Structure 1
């Protein structure tokens, strides 16, 4: 029933939101803080939550809060990771599954404000690796996680085909010309994530979309305004 009410709210929102000056998309398709707050009053179960408050053992390496990323500059003012509550609860199941194998999760990025996606695209308009702002990103919906695996004993990342944000063929989720260990680690991550409701994208082994992403609108809310 809650989700039916939420859907009705979204219909009203899309047809009544005031026009704003987004360059690539009509504002009726992007929620600002006020509209988001109204929505989560209707259905608080879909709110954005801070991931490490629900999964305390998770490791954060929020690259866009540093200059260590493909933009070569700081894109976030805070090194924090948020996602929709159902996404985080599913990720918590992933973390528990991995823990039985002596493994943990490292997160590079999660929810991303829509305005940041626009900046990415304007500097690197390659939609194989950067979301088209005319459609928005699953990150903008709070439904995507960029991540890798770590060894819980050493804290070190497992060997993967490339580093994060590599714009190369080796970063592909099914690229085959790799050392066996890198393939095994990548496939383990894929299988565990799939078992808990996530799907890897074809061009980036580290990027996982939550299966229910289409139920959530795009957001353009800075981290500092999320409560």
Structure 2
């Protein structure tokens, strides 16, 4: 049997099946492309491959205990002026037998949103024993440890430390392993090949304040070496976090980006 158009039912059936198959595959084909970084962003490695990168939020070793949204690759993405200033700092530190090590650089807004959602879930305290043992999770917003916006999302802020050369290896974190307070003695904290800064990275504790008077001796000297090197090159330290520095003037002082942390986001730059 044929229709008035001369098309047989079998042809109509085949056409309908093809249409359904096309429709089923359409979401992936029509999905919104991921945003890309504008000109002005680079991978730090393209500017200075000698700086050590240990991108914590691409792993489960952070205060949430899971990789953070938006961290597709363990790579430091940052604005070019900040990267070039870090290169100058690295050149000076290498002469003294040290290397910079970055823990975090550009941070997409979706990662900040992940932090906020986690902070509101008061039942999830899997990593409390290491990262915030003396802070009630209900106070993370009030005490300033978590916020809905981060300077990292503007691209010129980095979290970093110093490593004495030659750099010793740092073992990987094993999810579920016993945790130790981030402010404890160096030998009791999670092992890190950095110099002793008095606390571990991302320690939600007043002892992490850069100039806390309780931090003395070699720990204070290490903090001051990092601060003195970076501030002399245009970086400004966040007083509450010894590891947190923003290069000024910022290339994008008013824009909070959301492209993923991925080499492809910067197009090979």
Mark yes or no: TM-score above 0.5.
Answer: yes
CA distance in 2, matches of 1:223, 1:208: 19
Q: Is the 8 A contact 1:129 1:204 kept in 2?
A: no
Once the two structures are superposed, the pairs formed by residues 14-163 of structure 1 within 5 Å of their partners are: 33=35, 37=38, 40=39, 47-75=40-68, 76-124=71-119, 125-126=140-141, 128-130=144-146, 132-133=147-148, 136-155=149-168, 156-163=193-200
Structure 2 residue 220 is matched with structure 1 residue 218: no
Instruction: In structure 2, list runs of 5 or more residues that go unmatched.
Output: 1-33, 120-139, 169-192
Once the two structures are superposed, the pairs formed by residues 174-213 of structure 1 within 5 Å of their partners are: 174-213=211-250
**TM-score normalized with structure 2 length:** 0.65
Higher share in helix: 1
Instruction: In structure 1, list runs of 5 or more residues that go unmatched.
Output: 1-31, 41-46
CA distance in 2, matches of 1:188, 1:74: 31
1:176 positional shift: 1.2
**TM-score normalized with structure 1 length:** 0.76
CA distance in 2, matches of 1:161, 1:187: 12
User: Which segment drifts farther, 176-185 or 101-110?
Assistant: 176-185
| Residues 78 and 210 (structure 1), Cα distance of their counterparts in 2 relative to 1, 3 Å cut | same
CA distance in 2, matches of 1:149, 1:110: 15
Q: What CA deviation, in whole Å up to 9, does each residue of 1:2-31 have, x standing for no partner?
A: xxxxxxxxxxxxxxxxxxxxxxxxxxxxxx
CA distance in 2, matches of 1:215, 1:153: 36
CA distance in 1, matches of 2:266, 2:83: 15
Higher share in strand: 1
CA distance in 2, matches of 1:63, 1:83: 16
RMSD: 1.7
Q: Is the 8 A contact 1:48 1:82 kept in 2?
A: yes
CA distance in 1, matches of 2:105, 2:252: 17
CA distance in 2, matches of 1:141, 1:154: 30
Once the two structures are superposed, the pairs formed by residues 4-19 of structure 1 within 5 Å of their partners are: none
